[in-house]
Amino acid sequence: MIEMNESDILKDELYTLVRSLKNQIELAWELRHPLSWTTAEGDQKSPFLGMKLASGVHEQDVKESLISSDITGPADNPLETLDDIRRDMEACHRCPLEKTRKNLVFGEGNPHSELVFVGEAPGADEDLQGRPFVGRAGHLLTRIIDAMGLKREDVYICNILKCRPPGNRNPLPEEIEVCEPWLIRQLEAIRPRIICALGTFAAQTLLKKKGIPITVLRGQFHDYHGIKLMPTYHPAYLLRNPGAKRQVWEDVQKIMKVLEAGQ
Ligand code: URA
């Protein structure tokens, strides 16, 4: 076993702290919920000053939009489209999954949908087709959407990870960490009213509730930066546990009520 002395432990803690702070700043920036000290009086520098954020989108554009918009605000001045984000994502080298995947699974559906479903990661079928939720779990999700009185094309469907983890293993924390900013940009571009998080990984990642089981999180709306977020069981779980379909139906009925009320 490698012995760590006090200074190594301190260095390790400091490194973890800096990494986590850097991540928080990046996420806050991408969510357009900047930490107050990064925007106060407009005289402070963003951590990405001068950096090109996306095709044709520069830090100054982002800063201007920060002043007037919020993730839930009207999409009257969208910074970037899903096509812009996809173009950037095609060139992503943030993790090794790009080497083992066949296709990027960006997401699909109505780019202005009020409802976005977020799953975990592409499986084998999705990897082959480059489309989310097209395997067995996907067919069940399509049936759930139909039962809600909607069509797949009405909603938007994507995942936390955009590339398939080999052998369908669970996403690693470091893969989630580097891939989540893509999802945040997608959500910013779509600006849905409701997010339905499918399964443990999606719910825990979006809500930052690592360790809280889906059984506890599901069934009630949570706040995700002003957007209503409903966690529910993943369709793959339903394939193994059909008895849980009743609870998913209850959860999606709550979503339908909000959609119908237009609130
Ligand atoms: N499971 C997921 O979480 N996402 C998919 O796209 C397919 C299966």
Instruction: Determine the average pLDDT of the residues in 242-252.
Output: 97
Determine if ligand 1 sits within 6 Å of the CB of residue 235: no
Chain-wide mean pLDDT for the chain? 82
CA of 69 to the centre of ligand 1 (A): 32
Same domain for 116 and 17:
no
Expressed as residue numbers, the domain containing 51 is 6-38+47-68
Give the ligand 1 atom nearest the CA of 201: 3
Looking at the structure of the chain, the number of domains it has is: 2
The model carries a pTM of 0.74
Same domain for 113 and 31:
no
79 belongs to a structural domain: no
CA of 131 to the centre of ligand 1 (A): 9
Instruction: Determine the average pLDDT of the residues in 133-146.
Output: 98
Same domain for 95 and 52:
no
pLDDT band at 3 (very low <50, low <70, confident <90, very high): low
Among 101, 128, 157, 159, which is best to mutate for testing ligand 1, by the most ligand atoms less than 8 A from CB? 159
Same domain for 168 and 120:
yes
pLDDT band at 194 (very low <50, low <70, confident <90, very high): very high
CA of 138 to the centre of ligand 1 (A): 7
21 belongs to a structural domain: yes
CA of 63 to the centre of ligand 1 (A): 34
220 belongs to a structural domain: yes
pLDDT in tens, 64-74: 343 333 343 33
Same domain for 220 and 115:
yes
159 belongs to a structural domain: yes
Same domain for 16 and 117:
no
CA dist., res. 216 & res. 221, Å (int): 12
